């Protein structure tokens, strides 16, 4: 199947691609007629309901619901209904160590394992509506417990396994989790990474039950015993499926809440239409299970679609840079979904792609950060061999599923553009004057009601914060973007104080809080600095009252948040540029780091600070390289 390049640097699907597309040709038109009816039809067709819904969409100011009076169970939809072909593989788990064998779990085995885990959770007193913290890398038991929670109506809150003990503790406490599920260790870059100490520290003086899985026994823990069948709990469509903490503009992470009905519907259909995912096909989403991408495209979407999901434990370049290609080849992966940072890393070391034919691949997807043209072209030619469309998917923890992207049979695929809003979803761009932007005019990306089924329903313990997502009846994404005159969106990056480092979402405020917790520090400002591989790196400007080493600052960030957030560059400054109302001008600091000329300093309280920092950067930068 060839993808043809049109004259304007666009790729268009071939006839064959159109023919095999699961999304019908007239899908956009159909959705446009009535978005609500469109989703209601998809909900009936794609998801099995215990009690069918009669209400589709309702909204009063920022509160909205989908399929409100319907009842369903997410685990039933992902497992039980797929048992007509019980032997089909559901999960392929690939340990990092090449000497350790991969494990394949069939739908029946996964169903039985989830039942065992659900039984165990019940035995531990976990009930419908309780929060269950899962602090695990991508391993079989992480999925088993997520699904077991869904089965009994408990709410999982997965915490990324590289977060620090303190970060885990904050999330356990905010969620008021009843139980923590984790493992003793896992492998990454050939090393054993232990979680045991972190777990102990995180749970100090908190009343919480624990289940700690032994990594050595992974895949063999929940084998069928004579436990009674735990029936899937009938849940209301608007009950919470899970919470997932993500970085916001304040120092405190937000527990983003998703509703069962809307999430199930959109996870299912986005998997089918965006990745053209068919039953029995194999999808490898390389995102960690601790992020939303892992939740939706390494767990729920493939299982809801009766496909096979691949879980890889470690680093996809270990022990050799072509490890990820070996995995694609050996497991006949059809859909490969990853982050541009990973691709840039692969491309940098590439002397191996020509040795792999990669015939099984049919769709390539990217997520988490903008993809540059060079990486796009490398992916298209060297991995996809010109056969596979590249689907650049834009979305957020808050949207639950991918929301802006070209569909494989529709296109167009334009390097660095995400594409059009998914059928039935409406996005727009608001310019500085608060008006709808013209084509190519940059502005704030907003979602227009009716809001998409899997959009955020609340912030755990913080209803006020939830309200802040909405401005004048629209959902504010916090991203800047523009569209071309055919309505294809290009995402430019955040409009707020969130930065993306290697596709991971971080809050500048959270890192600043960690640094200012050091007694030697008066103030700190964090900005993202462009980086060829990671998209961005963390740069810190620190004002101290007493001398302090860079090492101590880095250690503090690792302790409070985790290694991902540690600053790559630290500048000790005498003063930080501020507005007259005392707000630190991070934008200016960023400009200085990028070597831009800073104009118009008249609104600053201390314009002289800018020149001093400029000189400092010039002096320090060569040492940091």
Give contact residues for ligand WTA (rule: CB under 6 A). Answer: 246, 291-293, 367-370, 392-397, 418, 477-479, 491, 494, 500, 505
Beta strands (DSSP E) in 371-457 are 390-393, 426-430, 443-448
502: left (phi over 0), alpha (psi -120 to 50) or beta: left
Residue 225 CB contacts under 8 Å (≥ 6 apart), including other chains? 116
To the nearest whole angstrom, how small is the minimum distance from the Cβ of residue 257 to ligand WTA? 14
The SS3 of residue 570 is strand
In order, the DSSP letters of 273-328 are HHS---TT-EEEE-S-TTSHHHHIIIIIHHHHTT-EEEEE-S-TTSSSTTHHHHHH
Distances (CA, A) of 162 to 186, 188, 502, 580: 11, 11, 14, 39
Residue 142 CB contacts under 8 Å (≥ 6 apart), including other chains? 134, 136, 158, 289
How many beta carbons lie within 10 A of that of residue 184, not counting itself?
14
Nearer to ligand WTA, 141 or 288 (CB): 288
To the nearest whole angstrom, how small is the minimum distance from the Cβ of residue 582 to ligand WTA? 27
Nearer to ligand WTA, 170 or 609 (CB): 170
Tell me if 476 sits within 8 A of 465, measured CB to CB. no
To the nearest whole angstrom, how small is the minimum distance from the Cβ of residue 268 to ligand WTA? 17
To the nearest whole angstrom, how small is the minimum distance from the Cβ of residue 492 to ligand WTA? 8
To the nearest whole angstrom, how small is the minimum distance from the Cβ of residue 399 to ligand WTA? 8
Nearer to ligand WTA, 182 or 447 (CB): 447
Tell me if 111 sits within 8 A of 141, measured CB to CB. no
Nearer to ligand WTA, 313 or 392 (CB): 392
Nearer to ligand WTA, 215 or 500 (CB): 500
To the nearest whole angstrom, how small is the minimum distance from the Cβ of residue 501 to ligand WTA? 11
To the nearest whole angstrom, how small is the minimum distance from the Cβ of residue 500 to ligand WTA? 5
CA–CA gap between residue 432 and residue 320 (Å, rounded): 48
Nearer to ligand WTA, 57 or 394 (CB): 394
Nearer to ligand WTA, 95 or 478 (CB): 478
245: left (phi over 0), alpha (psi -120 to 50) or beta: beta
Nearer to ligand WTA, 343 or 491 (CB): 491
User: What sign results for the dihedral spanned by CA atoms 544, 549, 550, 553?
Assistant: negative
To the nearest whole angstrom, how small is the minimum distance from the Cβ of residue 160 to ligand WTA? 10
């Amino acid at each position: 199947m060839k993808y043809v390049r049109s004259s304007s640097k666009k790729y268009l699907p071939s006839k064959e691609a159109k023919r095999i597309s699961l999304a019908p040709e007239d899908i956009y038109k159909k959705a446009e007629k009535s978005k609500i009816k469109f989703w209601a039809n998809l909900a009936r067709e794609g998801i099995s309901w215990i009690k069918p819904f009669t209400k589709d969409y309702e909204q009063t100011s920022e509160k909205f619901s989908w399929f409100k009076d319907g009842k369903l169970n997410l685990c039933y939809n992902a497992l039980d209904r797929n048992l007509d072909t019980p032997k089909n593989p559901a999960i392929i788990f690939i340990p990092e160590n090449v000497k350790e064998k991969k494990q394949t779990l069939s739908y029946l085995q996964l169903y039985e394992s989830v039942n065992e885990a659900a039984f165990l959770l019940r035995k531990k007193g976990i009930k419908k509506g309780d929060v269950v913290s899962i602090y695990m890398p991508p391993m079989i038991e992480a999925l088993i417990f997520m699904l077991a929670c869904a089965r009994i109506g408990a709410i999982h809150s997965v915490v990324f396994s590289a977060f620090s003990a303190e970060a885990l503790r904050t999330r356990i406490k905010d969620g008021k989790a009843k139980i923590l599920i984790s493992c003793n260790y896992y492998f990454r870059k050939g090393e054993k990474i232990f979680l045991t100490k972190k777990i102990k520290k995180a749970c100090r003086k908190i009343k919480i039950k624990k289940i700690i899985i032994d990594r050595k026994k992974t895949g063999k823990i929940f084998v069928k015993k004579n436990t009674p069948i735990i029936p899937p709990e009938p849940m209301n469509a608007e009950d919470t499926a899970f919470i997932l903490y993500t970085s916001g503009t304040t120092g405190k992470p937000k527990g983003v809440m998703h509703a069962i009905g809307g999430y199930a519907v959109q996870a299912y259909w986005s998997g089918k239409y965006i990745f053209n995912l068919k039953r029995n096909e194999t999808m490898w989403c390389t995102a960690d299970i601790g992020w939303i991408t892992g939740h939706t495209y390494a767990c729920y979407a493939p299982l809801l679609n009766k496909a096979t999901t691949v879980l890889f434990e470690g680093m996809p370049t270990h022990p050799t840079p072509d490890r990820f290609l070996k995995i694609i080849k050996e497991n006949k992966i059809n859909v490969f979904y990853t982050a541009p940072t990973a691709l840039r890393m692969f491309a940098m070391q590439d002397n191996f792609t020509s040795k792999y034919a990669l015939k099984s691949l049919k769709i390539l997807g990217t997520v988490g950060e903008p993809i540059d043209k060079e990486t796009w072209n490398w992916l298209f030619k060297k991995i996809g061999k010109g056969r596979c469309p590249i689907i650049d998917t834009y979305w957020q923890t808050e949207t639950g599923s991918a929301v802006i992207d070209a569909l494989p049979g529709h296109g167009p695929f334009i390097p660095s553009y995400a594409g059009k809003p998914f059928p039935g979803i409406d996005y727009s761009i608001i310019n500085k004057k608060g008006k709808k932007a013209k084509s190519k005019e940059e502005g704030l990306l907003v979602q227009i009601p009716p809001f998409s089924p899997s959009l955020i329903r609340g912030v755990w313990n913080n209803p006020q914060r939830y309200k802040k997502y909405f401005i004048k009846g629209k959902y504010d994404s916090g991203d800047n973007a523009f569209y071309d005159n055919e309505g294809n969106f290009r995402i430019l990056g955040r409009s707020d104080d969130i930065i993306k480092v290697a596709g991971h979402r971080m809050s500048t405020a959270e890192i600043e809080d960690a640094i200012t917790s050091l007694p030697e520090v008066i103030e700190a400002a964090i900005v993202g600095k462009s980086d060829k591989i990671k998209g961005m790196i963390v740069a810190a400007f620190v004002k101290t009252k007493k001398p302090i080493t860079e090492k101590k600052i880095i250690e503090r960030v690792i302790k409070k948040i985790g290694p991902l957030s540690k600053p790559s560059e630290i500048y000790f400054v005498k003063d930080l540029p501020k507005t007259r109302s005392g707000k630190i001008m991070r934008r200016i600091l960023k400009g200085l780091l990028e070597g831009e000329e800073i104009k118009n300093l008249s609104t600053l309280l201390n314009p002289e600070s800018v020149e001093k920092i400029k000189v400092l950067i010039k002096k320090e930068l060569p040492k940091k390289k």
